[in-house]
Amino acid sequence: MMRIAPVVCGVALIAAGMLAGPALAFDGTKSDDPLTPVEAFRYGARALKTGEKEKAVTSLEYAAEKGHALAQWKLGRMYAEGDGVPHDDLRAFEYFRRVASSHADDSPGTPQARFVANAFVALGHYYLDGIPKTAVKRDPQRAREMFSYAASYFGDPDAQYFLGQLYLDGVGTPADPRQAARWLRLSAYKGQHQAQARLGAMLFSGDQVPRQAARGLMWLTLAKDAATAEQGWITKLYDSAFGQATEDERALALVYLQRWMEKRRD
């Protein structure tokens, strides 16, 4: 990972205070035994649920400094979104970097694997755009490496979607529509609706792939149904395809859609 300036968060001082003499638990009661990282994380998670963000951050930072991967990931999300803490992309980057560096070889079947994969995806976005006024510069090739690792090793559908987009747009790698379609298809079959939209548009128009209008319309229908209000581009792609489709193509798309739904229920 790219080295960046250490993040100053005061966690070491907090941890030292907790470990010295009769320790204070996060609820202020005395305890002869320091809390384990797992206990600290659980306390932080409870504090988040009750809206006690300051207590949550203190306990999560303690757990994160002790190497608790999920605490590191959660803090990364909080700093990236400004949720209960000031928005700070550099601190978020550092927490995601810790997760990726320490857990890249975790088995994809472990419960925390999806959080590790998500950390790689977050790093990919930071490398794709860079973080202004920091040592984290725009590096599309490194972004592709982050997405590629999460997509191939962890099989993460979001990573597969973003990797497909890079191949489609020729960012960080030469444009390769076949590779793009491959990754988008893997993601789409896992229910990633953005990938379904991009793949559907490619198939419907025959954009650098063999045209399969009905199949493309099926994917676009699934994507439209799952899209959020902020994803108007998906609705536009669907409306355009539906308006151009013949009656036979619409009918066949409906058959494909019914088969898809039946398989998902099984």
- What are the pLDDT digits (tens) for 90-115? 999 999 999 999 999 999 999 899 99
**159 pLDDT band (50/70/90 cuts)?**
very high
Q: What is the pLDDT of residue 195?
A: 98
Residue in 107, 56, 64 with CA at minimum distance from that of residue 84: 56
Q: What is the pLDDT of residue 37?
A: 92
Q: In whole angstroms, give the CA distance from residue 69 to residue 37.
A: 10
Q: In whole angstroms, give the CA distance from residue 67 to residue 188.
A: 34
Furthest C-alpha separation in the chain: 77
Beta bridge partners of 23: 31
Q: Report yes or no: 202 and 165 within 8 Å, Cβ to Cβ.
A: no
Q: What is the pLDDT of residue 29?
A: 47
Q: Please name the amino acid found at residue 213.
A: A
| Residue at token pair 């998906």 | 234
Q: What is the pLDDT of residue 33?
A: 58
With residue 23 as reference, give the H or E element that holds it.
strand 23-24
Q: In whole angstroms, give the CA distance from residue 154 to residue 99.
A: 14
**What does the pLDDT average to over 19-24?**
35
Q: What is the pLDDT of residue 208?
A: 86
**Tokens for 64?**
């994160």
> What is the Cα 127 distance to its own chain's centre?
14
**265 pLDDT band (50/70/90 cuts)?**
confident
| Residue at token pair 């308006």 | 243
Q: In whole angstroms, give the CA distance from residue 228 to residue 185.
A: 21
**30 pLDDT band (50/70/90 cuts)?**
very low
pTM: 0.85
Residue 6 has pLDDT above 70, yes or no: no
| Residue at token pair 């982050």 | 146
**Average pLDDT, whole number, for the chain?**
89
**25 pLDDT band (50/70/90 cuts)?**
low
Beta bridge partners of 24: 30
**238 pLDDT band (50/70/90 cuts)?**
very high
**Tokens for 34?**
């320091």
How buried is residue 45: exposed, middle or buried, by Cβ count under 10 Å (0-12/13-18/19+)?
middle
pLDDT tens per residue across span 211-236 = 999 999 999 999 999 999 999 999 99
Q: Is 31 helix (H, G, I), strand (E, B) or coil?
A: strand
Q: Is 24 helix (H, G, I), strand (E, B) or coil?
A: strand
**What does the pLDDT average to over 24-40?**
65
Residue 11 has pLDDT above 50, yes or no: no
**266 pLDDT band (50/70/90 cuts)?**
confident
Q: In whole angstroms, give the CA distance from residue 64 to residue 69.
A: 7
* CA–CA–CA angle 78, 80, 86 (5° rounding): 70
**What does the pLDDT average to over 170-197?**
97
Q: What is the pLDDT of residue 35?
A: 83
pLDDT tens per residue across span 139-156 = 999 999 999 999 999 999
Q: In whole angstroms, give the CA distance from residue 124 to residue 129.
A: 9
**Tokens for 198?**
């991009």
**5 pLDDT band (50/70/90 cuts)?**
very low
